[in-house]
Amino acid sequence: MKDLVRTGLIWAVACLLAALAVIVFAALVLPVDQPIPIHWNSQGAADRFADRMTALMVLAAPAGILLLTNILLAIVPFISPRPENILKSSRIYLVTWAGSNLLVLGVTALIAFAMVGGAETGATPVIIPVILSSLCIFLIAIGNYLPKSSANWFVGVRTPWTLSSDYTWARTHRLAGWLFVLAGIAGLPFALMGDTPFRQILVVPLASVAAIVSIVYSYVVWRNAPDRK
């Protein structure tokens, strides 16, 4: 258990320090005397501006939330009702832990780049495709490890039916793994497109559809599960 947490914390500390470096860099180079973009539309054009201090707070917010998430992820293995299954699910636990840190680090760096460059141009068309494609890759990584997880209260498709039946958990996560991988693969080309209706319609809802189908499927499987409780 300690090795699992130690590995996760190494990723967390490294990514948080890198994010801090990005924030410090932005604080040094952002102009004081002009509005800073803090929000962008689907075309990558800045549509909301703020002063320098507010912009830095917006930039630091994801890292602050991630810090609290890392603390929770470090504690969870020691307070889980089924700690042995957390160990059995260590791969997906670490993928989720490291992946969320890398994702937030990437988003922080991208937003900083957009703030610095957008302060003059007002547009950073690369920001939306990069964020959406990163989410698709994260879905693929999560989906690859979902079937290898064991029933636990913190990672995976956690429904009353999967948590009360190991058989249901295994069947549900076998399907969920495929669904999340397919969602990521299907969304990736659309994420890289320009501003099209397909990108807005498909990329974000795909993960929601995969999750909803998995939840419904868990109930269907549980109804005939040999170990249902």
One domain, residues 113 and 133: no
* 127-165 pLDDT per residue, tens: 778 888 888 999 999 999 999 898 888 888 999 999 999
113 and 19, same domain (yes or no):
yes
Measure the CA–CA gap between 216 and 177, rounded to whole angstroms: 15
The reply to whether 152 and 90 lie within a common domain is: no
Of the candidates 124, 153, 188, which is a domain's last residue? 124
- Encode pLDDT of 24-74 as tens digits: 999 998 888 888 888 877 666 778 888 889 999 999 999 999 999 999 999
Examine the pLDDT at 122 and tell me if it is beyond 70.
Answer: no
On whether the CB atoms of residues 23 and 59 are closer than 8 A, the answer is: yes
* Residues 194, 133 share a domain: yes
Whether the per-residue pLDDT at 123 is higher than 80: the answer is no
The C-alpha atoms of residue 190 and residue 201 are separated, in whole angstroms, by: 10
What gap in Å lies between CA 229 and CA 16, rounded to an integer? Answer: 42
Q: In terms of domains, do 147 and 162 share one?
A: yes
Clarify whether residues 53 and 160 are in a common domain. Answer: no
In whole angstroms, how far apart are CA 183 and each of 3, 42, 133, 148, 149?
Answer: 32, 20, 12, 18, 19
> Is 114 in the same domain as 218?
no
Q: Which residue range forms the structural domain that includes residue 134?
A: 126-229
C-beta separation of 141 from 95 below 8 A: yes
164-219 residue pLDDT tens? 999 999 999 999 999 999 999 988 888 777 666 556 567 678 888 999 999 999 99
- Domain end (from 106, 124, 142): 124
* Number of domains composing the chain: 2
Q: Which residue has the tokens 């990672």?
A: 155
Helix (H/G/I), strand (E/B), else coil: 149: coil
Q: Do both 101 and 168 map to the same domain? A: no
Domain shared by 32 and 94, yes or no? yes
Question: Does one domain contain both 60 and 100?
Answer: yes
Boundary residue ending a domain (103, 124, 145): 124
Residue 19 and residue 2 in one domain:
yes
137 neighbors 207 (Cβ within 8 angstroms): no
Task: Based on the fold, state whether residues 176 and 130 are members of the same structural domain.
Answer: yes
Is there a contact between 94 and 8 (Cβ–Cβ < 8 Å)? yes
